[in-house]
Structure formats: C-alpha cells, structure tokens
Structure 1
Amino acid sequence: MRLYRVDADQWAVDAPAKLNLFFEVLAKRSDGYHEIETLMCPIGLYDTVLFVPNASGQVRLICAKGSRAGTDDLPADGRNLVVRAIELLRERTGCRLGAEVRLIKRIPMQAGLGGGSSDAAAALAVASQAWGLGVAPAELRQWAAELGSDVPFFLGRGAAVCRGRGEIIEPAPGGGLSFVVVRPDEGLSTAEVYRHCRPPDEPRSSAPAVAALGRGDAAALGRALFNRLESAAASLSPWIERLRCALARLDLCGYQMSGSGTAFFGVCRHLRHARTAAMRLTAMGFRQVFAVGGAV
C-alpha cells in the first residue's frame, strides 16, 4: 500500500488488489476455517481510502465508484470493513477522535482480488498515522487478523507465502511481472466456495511458484500456477468454464482463478502483452478487464 499526506487536513492510502499465484487447501479446522498455503502478490490495481481526522468522535464513511467497479452493494456503516477497522482501532487504543472517510472503489467485489481486506488494512494504517497513535506494526497485524484472514498481508509490501488461515506471513522475493485480470458479471461467496472444496490427501507445494516468481520467470510461473478452489467454483458458476475458454484463446504464459473467484488472471510476458490480452478480452464482451504490473 502507499500511504501519503494529501494536504494539511487529509491523508490518503492506495490499497492494492492481490492475485493468488498458488492456493492449496490443507485441512478443515475445528474453528470453521481452513488451513491453507497460498502465494499472494499485490498488483497495480488500487482502491483509495481518503481520511480527514476531526474531533467529532464520529466516523463517517462515503463510498464512491471508480472506473469499472460498482458500489451498489457496498454498505457505508458497521458492515463495511473500513468502518470496522477504524472502530476496532479506536476501541483498542481508547482514541475518541473522529474522521470523514471516503472509499473510492476500483477493485471489483466478490472477485477473489482482496479488495475489502486491502481497504481494511489501509484504514488501520491511515487512522493510526493520522490520529498520531503510533501503534506498533506487530500489534497492528494482530488486530488486522481479527478483521479477516487476508488483512495482515496487505500491511506488508510485496509478495508473500501465507499459511494458517492466511495470517501467518512469510515474505517472498520477486515481482516485476505483468498480468491481465478479468472479472465476469457474476461473483461468488467465499464461504460457499470453501463449502464445496475438499482438501486433498496429498497437498501440493508452493515452492515451484515461489521460485519462479523470485526469478521473475513468467513462463515457469505460468506452469506452476495452481488453485485448489477453482474446481469448487466451477461447480457453482458457469462463468469459470467460460473464462477458462476465453483465456485459453490468448497467448498467455498461464492462467487461473484468483482466490475464491470469480476473477481470473493470465501471466503475461510484459505489460504490452497484458494490454493486448486485455483488449482482446474486452472485444469478447467482458466489461471488467485490467492490464497490470506489480503494486508499487
């Protein structure tokens, strides 16, 4: 994420989307979560959180639509992770300050791209900074894990292998690759996808994907892509097979679904290649298509 001061009164955070370059489901846990191993990579597709601190004692959120992302189903109250993150911070620190917060959505929702989790991490970081709370990074990560499994990942920079339910983070080297990302008109519930997924007897390892990413080897990464949730998602939505067929027609190094879907991505040789693939997908009738590099 990129946190910066806009002016004397306003702070901003650019909150990136992520791709799951590898995703294995290891086991179902007694607490209802799943043990996973995933290689996540932040990409250059961002929501923006604008934060104006004040002394009102109230947190007011306004949601706005960026390009190619709707906000019709996005609440602006305590159901929104941005509000929940800020209120959790206030509760744990005893802070009684308020804020006007504006969330500009560009990352598609229900896509497996982590937009909500990234927004929550951004809200924690910017509120701590703007209110001068000075919360230690380790403590902020701990609180982030209470908000969602992916949230701690977004407080870091760069790719990482995430284990446990996603909150145990090991930074991974590499980056600099380009991707085409496409989200169909229909989303999927993460919980529903997990309900239809069976952990394997012999799990796969993320090591080949981690090594390929570390070398910046697009061809090797394309061969190492894997997502255990993809077959479960395919049983729930016809869009999964449609996207497979669409991306198979493109000259990509590899492609798969990200997270619990429904967004797919393709590994490209360079950004120009990603832009060409994005134009072809747009010509096929897909409305939410992005050519991206890694997050800055």
Structure 2
Amino acid sequence: MTIAAADGAVHVRAPGKINLYFKVGALEEDGYHSVASAYQAVSLFEDVRAWLDDEITVSFRGGIDTTGVPTGRTNLAVRAARLLARTAGVPGGARLEITKHVPIAGGMGGGSADAAATLVACDALWGTGLSKDELHALAAQLGADVPFALTGGTAIGTGRGDRLNPALATGQFHWVLVTADHGLSTPTVYGELDELREQSRWQAPDGPPVVDTAVLQALRAGDAHQLADSLANDLERAAVRLAPGLAQVLDLGRGLGALAGIVSGSGPTLAFLAAGSEAAIELQVALSAAGHTALRVRGPVPGARLMHD
C-alpha cells in the first residue's frame, strides 16, 4: 500500500553519524580495508521527500552548498531508487527532493543517509513492501554506511563496516560538531593512511580489527567521561595531515571544555564530546565565538523512518 502525505509526497528522515571508534586493517588485495567501528547516529538529519513520477530524478534544497553533488545516475539516492525499482520490478519512477543538513564529504555519512531514506521512501511510495532484511541487503550494495543509516542507534560495524551488530547505549550523549567549508575525499584519506603506515613503524593491526571493549563498557554505562577516554580514529592522523588546520581546532575545542575531540570518520567534521547538555551549549557558543560553524547534537537517535507531516 502506498503511503503519501496530502500533497502526494512520502517524507523520510535519516540521521548522520559519527564514528566513536574507528580501527582500520591493512590494505587488502581488492584495494579495500577491513574496519571495526562504533557508530552512533546523531540528531543531524537528511530529509527526503518522494513523489510518483515517470522517471527517477533528484534535486536539493537547504542551506548546504550542493553545487558539486551529482544529480544523475551516479547520485547515491538515485542509485538507491533505481536499485529498489529494479529489484521489485517497479515500472515507474520517483521525483526525489533532499533537504540537506549533514555536511557533504564531511565524514558523517550524509550521502548514505540520503540513500537509506530513499530506500524507505520509495518502498512506501511504490508499495513494494520489502522487509527490513531485504532493505538492509539493498543498502549493503550501495555502500558501507548505508545499512547503519537505516538502523540508526549505536552499532558495531565490521568487515567493510556494513556487518552491523547493535550496541547497548544507555542515556544520551551530547556532542558539538565543527563543520568545515571544504570536504575530504574518503579514498584520499585512506590512501594517506596507507602512505603514513609505509613511512613509519605505525602498523595495521594483525588480523581483523576489533572495537576496544572499553568503548562498549562506556556506552553501556552511559558515561561520557569514560567514553571520552576511549574515543579513537585511525583515519584522524591522515585527515590532519591532509588538512593541518584540523589539529588547531581539535586543541581549541579541548581547551574550551570538551571531554574529548575526534575527527569523525574520514573528516573533516570534528566531533567534541561534552559532559552534558549545558556543557554542550557552552562549548557550542565558545566555538562559534571563535569563528567556527558549531552544531549541537545528541545521540543515539533512530535510523531512517517515515515522517507524518
């Protein structure tokens, strides 16, 4: 059964994510790396609206500059809709409109959130009725972060990051994100990591990487101070080498009262963990006063879900 709002649109909201912990294995023969990550979905969302149409198209709105984002077949949301249509045998199309809030190429999985929201929106719009497992299988074909954008919450990702296991997180964690006016290419950051490892004695972990148990204990306890001591990201050194200014902002945020600061994923978005909501407000104000774009978010939040406008 098709679900649509009064104007004929289906509206789905999906969250961006931060990586609380990110361990990267050695470069493999296929050119990829195995990873172990602790993901947390946070309250910075992408909104996708879909209308029935003859073809599959996408447009953007919102305050984020999307000039460089493709709108053709290579766009991840378009790919998601086409994959669902092909899998379910849908003859028609959809007009997609994405209101972006998650930074582009910022290490927060905004494009993956678009794809996850599109799968849910088009499934409802077309009445294809796929199960969660079937949608998850399609999401995994689109990229490592897309399945997590579907599920949200807090999870451990292994393999390419798409093999997910829920992680228990009690309470709420409060973050301040500092976004950049430039992006970092994920493949470029991984390439820089490989080069750093070749140039130094910093070696990849032996065998498949794993998430430190201290991260899981902190999440279960809902203890921000404990979690702050466990945050880690193998890609941070590579991201800072490519964008040296990140190091100064990390030092600034820590100096202004953050419990810890970390590059989110491949960057350049920085995530600062605060002791609570009031501390997050103070940190956001201080970072904004220093001339940075600072956003206050909380996590965990749910994954892609239908909104009833």
TM-score w.r.t. structure 1 length?
Answer: 0.92
Tell me the alpha carbon deviations over residues 86-133 of structure 1, each in whole angstroms, 9 at most, x when there is no partner. 011111111012222100111111111110011101101111121110
TM-score w.r.t. structure 2 length?
Answer: 0.89
SS in 1 for 2:242: coil
Per the TM alignment, residue 235 of structure 1 is displaced from its structure 2 partner at its CA by 1.4
Match of 1:65 in 2: 62
Per the TM alignment, residue 5 of structure 1 is displaced from its structure 2 partner at its CA by 5.0
Per the TM alignment, residue 65 of structure 1 is displaced from its structure 2 partner at its CA by 2.1
Match of 2:52 in 1: 53
SS in 2 for 1:120: helix
| 1:194 partnered with 2:200 | no
Tell me the alpha carbon deviations over residues 193-237 of structure 1, each in whole angstroms, 9 at most, x when there is no partner. 101214524666432112101211000000000000001111111
SS in 2 for 1:45: strand
Judge conservation of contact 1:145–1:152 (CA < 8 Å) in 2. Answer: yes
Q: Match of 1:241, as an amino acid?
A: A
Judge conservation of contact 1:178–1:271 (CA < 8 Å) in 2. Answer: yes
Q: Using the aligned pairs only, state the percent identity.
A: 34
In 1, the alpha carbon distance for the partners of 2:272 and 2:251 equals 12
RMSD of the alignment, in Å? 1.6
Match of 1:13 in 2: 12
The alignment of Structure 1 onto Structure 2 pairs a total of residues equal to 288
Task: Give 1:168-183 correspondences, 5 Å limit.
Answer: 168-174=163-169, 175-183=171-179
Question: Structure 1 residue aligned with 2:232, among 226, 233, 236?
Answer: 226
Q: Which has the higher contact order (CA 8 A, sep 6+)?
A: 2
In 1, the alpha carbon distance for the partners of 2:146 and 2:215 equals 22
Judge conservation of contact 1:70–1:105 (CA < 8 Å) in 2. Answer: no
Tell me the alpha carbon deviations over residues 255-283 of structure 1, each in whole angstroms, 9 at most, x when there is no partner. 11110000111111222221211111111
Gaps of 5+ in 2: 198-202, 303-309
| 1:244 partnered with 2:250 | yes
In 2, the alpha carbon distance for the partners of 1:108 and 1:201 equals 30
Q: Which runs of 4+ in 1 moved over 4 A?
A: none
In 2, the alpha carbon distance for the partners of 1:213 and 1:201 equals 24
Change (3 A) 1:47 1:205: closer
